[in-house]
Structure 1
Amino acid sequence: MQKKLTNPIIPGFYPDPSICRVGEDYYLACSSFELCPGVPVFHSRDLAHWEQICYAMTPENGFHMERNSGVGGVMAPTLRCHDGLFYIINANFSDRGNYIVTAENPAGPWSEPHWLDDVPGIDASLFFDDDGQAYILGTGDVWDNGTGVKERGIWLAKYDVEHFRMLGEPVTIFNSALRVGASPESPHLYHVGDYYYLIIAEGGTEHYHAVMAARSRELFGFYEGNPANPVMTHRHMGFQSPIINVGHADLVELPDGSWYAVLLASRLIEGKCKNLGRETFICPVVWERGWPLFSPETGKIEWEYDAPLCLVRDGADGLEGSGDAATAVAGPWMDGNREEGAAGTPDEPGGDAGSGQSGFGLVREEFDSETLDFCWSFWGRPYHDFYKIADSALYLKCIRQSLAEELRPMTFDMEKSEAYETAFLACRQCSIHTTVTCQMKFLPTGQESAGLAVVQAMNHQYHLERAKSQGRQVLRLMLYTADYNVPPYFPGFASTTCEQVIAETPWEAEEIVLRLEIRGERFRVCFGETRDELRELCVADGELINPEKVGCMTGTMIGMYATGNGEDCENWAEFGWFEME
């Protein structure tokens, strides 16, 4: 039986994939936005099974990140390897902008950021030509449309990777594949045969997202667009396509000369929501008449493809024979231990699919180790000691900062601060149907609260929390939503966060088990003294925190939190265990 590549190959909020091959090993990096640690790096030997081997950005190499809207932070990395050295080029909207980190081993450690003060714009990418010369390209307002007004386009410059500086002025090589095409960005460059090929995203990263191709015989020539553009998109399939927002591709050549593209897309839930955000998908690419043809025969992203014959072998598990490059580096933040998960396939359009990789969507945490697994993330870098793992439990302090603080505009020149952190430890929701359960000991004394939170971008959240209300101890479900005029990266952004009590019941005991059963957009909320004695608090509407206006740049994070709700508090919440399945 032919082995399969099952989409998404990396399920959950792992967007903007960039891939490179070194021998028989494949490495892939994704965006992490405002999460910390940042920029997860994965490894595979068959393109089907992927294991996370590290985070490229951690406090150990100077990573700064702030909690805000969820859609800021680090995005659109490019991962490349040249002469045995790995490079990630990226932009950090919580710090100084564009940077490069390097590593001899893709599992780390990665260097501290080399800040690229002379690199303009966003979505910068590296390209190494056949002669070893490096080039840098990116997105900016560089195209003169003849009226004196600069429009968005793609620029290219020679680059010195030893001293991290551009060699000469950037040259505009492309504007957009379609006339007045929106948001040409995320460029990647390849030298194949007699041509240099430029692959970009266009149309914005949501419904009108697309992959565009252009080529030139001269590296610094103005690139001609493929007459077949867009070479991959699902925007013509309507707003209820089970796979939607397809775009942002990166190509990789296999040892036998065949090609594949990794790209992002979203699974549509109940025909309207994108709770899981943008996930990593894959499709085959063939070359036809000098142009790349994505997903031949159907022209759309399929749930499954036959695995490449050159990579199919008995016992392939994504790490077999991979040597030191696939050994995760454990530090005070993360380790490489994951629970085993079974491969999934969609049982209906838009249903759950999975890569078969261990760990995605299945977490069982007893907090019996001082290190945290790769699946865990904080929202914003923790600068202060508000969490600890001791005596087989996680302790979160009720710090002043809350999960639903008012949103701020996003800009490269925002003042760096340690104040924007949250006592929130969470995992990505990787499956449309997910059950999350945790055990907590907590007794609020003032206005502090703690519990289980479901967090989407732009302050759309549910909090299942212990709190004091009108002098009595309660368990309640809080809904937070935000009204705003434009996204936070546009001028004139303004926002107001609203809160609402969805359900409330008295609860006096210190210990409680909390459960959230997510079935599409039906959120069943339960509680009790033990996991075997749970009763229903309410059924909530998941669409309220996943409306179209939230978009899909980030996906749902579910985890444990504690907060003083604007006041300093010495109270701690203790979590004995956590399960996500």
Structure 2
Amino acid sequence: MVTVTNPIISGFYPDPSICRVDEDYYLVCSSFELYPGIPIFHSKDLANWELIGHALTVDNDFYVRANSYTGGVMAPTIRYHNGLFYIIVMNYSIEQNIIVTAEHPSGPWSTPHLLPDVPGIDASLFFDDDDKAYIIGTIEEDGKRYLYLNEFELAGMSCIGERHLIWDSALRNASAPEAPHLYKRGGYYYLVIAEGGTEYFHAVTVARSKVINGWYEGYAGNPILTHRHLGKQAAITNIGHADLVEATNGSWYAVMLGSRPVGGYYKNLGRETFLCPVTWEDDWPLLASETGKVESTYELDLPEFKVKSFDNPFIADFSNKTLAPELVFWGTPYQSFWTLENNALYLACLPRPAGRQMISLSEDAPDAQYHDNFAFIGCRQRHDSYEVETQLSFTPQDKEAAGLLILQGNNHHYRLEKVQENGLSFVQVVRCTTQIDVPIYRPHFKSYTSEEVLAKQEVARGNLSLKIVQNKQTIDFYVGTNTDSWSCILSGADGSVLGPSSLNGMTGVTLGMFATANGKESENKATFTTFAYQGK
């Protein structure tokens, strides 16, 4: 027996998709505008998961733009067929569905195959018993969204034959039918989708057909899983976007996204990955059937196989030549703004400010990715309470700044930064917030970003330590000359402003190190000798 503790992957790892090959399970998640893209996890018991790599990097020409934070890569599906792994996903930075392949999930992964004939979001792959491949996706017709199926030729990576509309939704005029996955069991094809939107009304629904391209029959008991009836104060909300897998012993399970609100309906952790058992009744799947909701723990009749999961505390090792896989950039790091030398991480003061206004996608320069990086490296917030700290060596000039950043997105963050004014050095806390009138992907996009210095303290030149401590939705900011000598320069800052709902967003918080010249060219660098995160 093995005990599953939910979430099985904590922090901002949403839209899970899973497949099994022999006794090994592989799971992928959305990465939005974080780089590298599409984290890949491995498990042998569905309870213990190890991050083994990423599917999208500069090595296979991955481009993701650091702009809105909620764009980029989302809703991947991973499948295995005839010795090859496939991941299909939408990259909003290039407005294309793509497929990458690999012989092993840890890579290397192929250069993305562009899919101009695959419309819509959340496209998925299905391999039938006769080796035929199919794409299942979403499409808008006559003002309504449908789920469609199209045969797919693997050799040419293109759709062939007629596109079939196979279902719309369980509820009449349901909001956002999406995330389709297709399975075959006992003579039926089962179509599992999400509907209701990825927030409070999120749900999992199912339909079936004995003909793969026929119109699917919705289950009378839909939805087969939702938490919307539990209220916004429930421990787990927003459950949906499920993918099913059959275990080695013939039992079935589902992974899905969900949120753990903190201090009210504030989802600073974003959407995380959860698991529940699946049972079959009258040839229909039932998710979490005994209680009707995802529980915090489950006992699975599978042998335990422990692997190296995320460390807590996580302490970055800057003595290596490569960064730890838990560390991420915001956008593809085309510019050479970071190096690992002398047991330290060096970040160049790039011109891009931390709080720069977003750019409309319609107005974005075609080559912006090569000269518009933001010098940021961090990790996802994975606990509702945590400490993050760093040791910084930095002599700022003019408008330059460097330090720690709590990044939500859309220029929505807190900064604990070192700056200089009139030849004196200061550490200050800055709150940056953004209001959006029109979404970034629509015409006439507008956003309004404002910054406020909440606290400022003069510091001596030389090395210093910075620390941020968050307890639920209360944030305290510290500065010290070393990790044993701390002075709190601001206590009680409101963490709820970092929840994505205020921005109509979907992302969780990322914590990290940054440097900027705030609009100017600079040769200066900030040196970080430690970076540590500890969840509580």
What is the TM-score normalised by the length of structure 1? 0.89
Q: Which residue of 1 aligns with 2:397?
A: 445
**1:25 and 2:7 correspond:** no
Q: Which residue of 1 aligns with 2:417?
A: 465
Residues 157-556 of structure 1 mapped to structure 2, 5 A cutoff: 157-307=150-300, 309=301, 311-313=302-304, 316-318=305-307, 358-410=309-361, 415=366, 417-418=368-369, 419-469=371-421, 472-539=424-491, 540-546=493-499, 548-551=501-504, 553-556=506-509
Q: CA deviation at 1:432?
A: 1.0
Q: CA deviation at 1:270?
A: 1.2
Q: CA deviation at 1:131?
A: 1.2
Residue 199 of structure 1: SS of its match in structure 2?
strand
Contact 2:5 2:47 in 1 (8 A): yes
Q: CA deviation at 1:471?
A: 5.1
Q: CA deviation at 1:96?
A: 4.6
Q: Which residue of 1 aligns with 2:520?
A: 567
Q: C-alpha separation between the residues in 1 aligned to 2:163 and 2:123?
A: 12
Q: Residue 415 and residue 156 in structure 1: after superposition, are their counterparts in 2 closer, same or farther (change >3 A)?
A: farther
Q: CA deviation at 1:414?
A: 8.0
Fraction of identical pairs, as percent:
47
What letter matches 1:426 in structure 2?
A: G
Residue 482 of structure 2: SS of its match in structure 1?
coil
Contact 2:500 2:506 in 1 (8 A): no
Q: CA deviation at 1:68?
A: 0.8
What letter matches 2:417 in structure 1?
A: E
Q: Which stretch has the larger CA shift, 491-500 or 3-12? A: 491-500
Superposed CA deviations along residues 408-457 of structure 1, whole A, max 9, x for unmatched, are: 33579984532332100010011111100100001111101000000002
Superposed CA deviations along residues 380-421 of structure 1, whole A, max 9, x for unmatched, are: 111111110100000000001122221233579984532332
Q: Which residue of 2 aligns with 1:154?
A: 147
Q: Residue 110 and residue 312 in structure 1: after superposition, are their counterparts in 2 closer, same or farther (change >3 A)?
A: same
Q: Residue 288 and residue 529 in structure 1: after superposition, are their counterparts in 2 closer, same or farther (change >3 A)?
A: same
Superposed CA deviations along residues 143-174 of structure 1, whole A, max 9, x for unmatched, are: xxxxxx33111111000012101111311111
Contact 1:479 1:499 in 2 (8 A): yes
Q: CA deviation at 1:361?
A: 4.7
Q: C-alpha separation between the residues in 1 aligned to 2:500 and 2:181?
A: 32
Q: Which residue of 2 aligns with 1:57?
A: 56
Contact 1:97 1:412 in 2 (8 A): no
Residue 544 of structure 1: SS of its match in structure 2?
helix
What letter matches 2:257 in structure 1?
A: L
Residue 268 of structure 2: SS of its match in structure 1?
coil
Residue 408 of structure 1: SS of its match in structure 2?
coil
Q: CA deviation at 1:90?
A: 0.6
Contact 1:68 1:420 in 2 (8 A): no
Q: Residue 413 and residue 68 in structure 1: after superposition, are their counterparts in 2 closer, same or farther (change >3 A)?
A: closer
Q: C-alpha separation between the residues in 2 aligned to 1:205 and 1:360?
A: 29
Q: C-alpha separation between the residues in 2 aligned to 1:545 and 1:106?
A: 33
Contact 1:210 1:234 in 2 (8 A): yes
Unaligned runs of 5+ in 2: none
Q: C-alpha separation between the residues in 2 aligned to 1:420 and 1:131?
A: 48
Count matched residues: 532
Q: CA deviation at 1:458?
A: 2.0
Q: CA deviation at 1:507?
A: 1.4
Q: CA deviation at 1:359?
A: 1.8
What letter matches 2:231 in structure 1?
A: G
Superposed CA deviations along residues 244-294 of structure 1, whole A, max 9, x for unmatched, are: 111000000012221000000010101221111000000000011111100
What letter matches 1:565 in structure 2?
A: N
Contact 1:266 1:552 in 2 (8 A): no
What is the TM-score normalised by the length of structure 2? 0.97
Contact 1:20 1:81 in 2 (8 A): yes
Q: CA deviation at 1:470?
A: 5.4
Contact 1:41 1:107 in 2 (8 A): yes
Contact 1:124 1:138 in 2 (8 A): yes
Superposed CA deviations along residues 5-35 of structure 1, whole A, max 9, x for unmatched, are: 1000000111100000000000001110001
Q: Residue 453 and residue 301 in structure 1: after superposition, are their counterparts in 2 closer, same or farther (change >3 A)?
A: same
Superposed CA deviations along residues 342-393 of structure 1, whole A, max 9, x for unmatched, are: xxxxxxxxxxxxxxx5225531124111111110000011111111010000
Q: C-alpha separation between the residues in 1 aligned to 2:362 and 2:99?
A: 19
Contact 2:500 2:508 in 1 (8 A): no
CA RMSD of aligned residues (A): 1.6
Q: C-alpha separation between the residues in 2 aligned to 1:470 and 1:22?
A: 63
Contact 1:93 1:411 in 2 (8 A): no
Residue 166 of structure 1: SS of its match in structure 2?
strand
Q: CA deviation at 1:556?
A: 0.6
What letter matches 1:29 in structure 2?
A: V
Superposed CA deviations along residues 475-495 of structure 1, whole A, max 9, x for unmatched, are: 100000001124334444310
Q: Which residue of 2 aligns with 1:347?
A: none
**1:123 and 2:126 correspond:** no
Q: CA deviation at 1:136?
A: 0.6
Q: Residue 71 and residue 87 in structure 1: after superposition, are their counterparts in 2 closer, same or farther (change >3 A)?
A: same
Residue 122 of structure 1: SS of its match in structure 2?
coil
Q: Residue 492 and residue 207 in structure 1: after superposition, are their counterparts in 2 closer, same or farther (change >3 A)?
A: farther
What letter matches 2:410 in structure 1?
A: M
What letter matches 2:115 in structure 1?
A: L
Residue 60 of structure 1: SS of its match in structure 2?
helix
Contact 2:435 2:503 in 1 (8 A): no
What letter matches 1:576 in structure 2?
A: T
Q: C-alpha separation between the residues in 2 aligned to 1:409 and 1:197?
A: 39
Q: CA deviation at 1:140?
A: 1.6
Q: Residue 162 and residue 360 in structure 1: after superposition, are their counterparts in 2 closer, same or farther (change >3 A)?
A: farther
